[in-house]
Structure 1
Amino acid sequence: MLAIIGGSGLTQLASLEITRREVVRTPYGEPSGALTFGQVCDQAVVFLARHGYGHTIPPHLVNYRANLWALKHVGALGVISVASVGGIREDFGPGVLVVPDQIIDYTWGRKSTYFDALDQPVHHVDFTHPYDQALRQRLLRAAAAAGQAVHDGGVYATTQGPRLETAAEINRFERDGADLVGMTGMPEAVLARELELPYAAINVVANFAAGRASSEQGISFDSIEVVLHEAMLRVRCILDSLCVEDA
């Protein structure tokens, strides 16, 4: 069964034939909401809205540990993350879809591991490649089959939020090698790795990052909504194509 975590702009899957919803209790507290089970093109899927179904949970307060644990508990064999981001690279403008391959973590204070009890042995995971390579390739094949253009690869900088970044911070991220900036990529990716859940992402560029747009007026949130609406239609096509491949 494939798990899909939807971010801003994707709080539900139109093509999901819902069979049931389930509230899952976890040792780490409450997930962002009930899990929605169903089928897409005869493929079993479980969906979770990262920020809650009313989009009320800010990035720094998402219970990432509960979310990933719940998906693993109900039998998910892989996780696709959908998230909106800001584009740092010149060719990563509004509406572009990216399947990232690396992460830089600038967050702080988040519960970022399942191995934090003092009575447990120290546990390390290899995080050289934060996204599962096989699942990334499946996403890229699905995009090609759906006729949707995506960029293969990109470095995702994860910031604390919920505020957006300053232009100086974006300049720093670029010097560090980042191509995209978002607020939810970590610790989600590493928690999936600790649970041995294959994890990959589709990033939707909603806007140019701070200081990168041609306008000096800052970021237009009205424009972001328009971009996300159109781009998420394309993301849904890719997810449908992925499920057809699995069926």
Structure 2
Amino acid sequence: MADRTIYDTTVPSAGSRGMAHQRILRMRFQNAWTNITGDANNLKMTPSAVAIASERYGQKAAQASQKMADNYAVTFGVEAVRNNAGMFVAAQAAIRELLKIGRRTGADNLVDIQWFDALDDDVPAFQGTFRVEWDDANAGYAEGAGWSFTLTSVGPVPQITSPIATGVPLIETALPIGKTVGDVIYVKGHKFTGTTGVTIKAVAVTKFTVIDDNTLSILIPTGVSGASPIIVTNAAGASTAYSYPAA
């Protein structure tokens, strides 16, 4: 199960029409990770392979290459939000900092960035150091301010454990329904590798098998009938109870 806190609290600054929210972009600002996704539009991360020349096995001197890592470019747009005094609102302080960094040189032009899916912690997440560039957006009828940002990685960007990962199992289904004591049912979900225990209707399941990270088979123990919540536990904790209709 993923921690939904970041997703649930990702909102545009009042007055902004930012739309990105299911992909989270955070920058290190004032020694803390600051979520800047709420005011972003058209957020995209584009990889480019870092490859080295190699020979194809059995075909000496035949040209080939192998990917060793990926560089990334992150692009997005931001619309400025101003207060009554014409200043950008405090909620966009990190965006103001990006604008300043983008006009600096050398090491002062760099920023640490995290990128991850807001809801699924199994989707690859990344963290690295990026060079900052930006362009002014075209002014329109309302003369609103805005910018197009390009963040380019300084060398390959390593994959990290998603910041929303909790490691707790998540149950999606348990089938077939309507089974009884001594029958086998299959539980589908996530993070079942390392399962330490299973209960159904608060009765410990003594016979269960971890088929893979997404599938468990369990033998329904004595004392189970009717509405029977299933709970799967691993080292990180217990899943939310899943209501199974036993016979």
User: TM range, normalised to the smaller chain?
Assistant: under 0.3
TM-score by length of 1: 0.23
Higher helix share: 1
Higher Cα radius of gyration = 2
Q: Which has the higher strand share?
A: 2
Higher relative contact order (CA 8 A, sep 6+): 1
TM-score of the two chains, using structure 2 as the length reference:
0.23
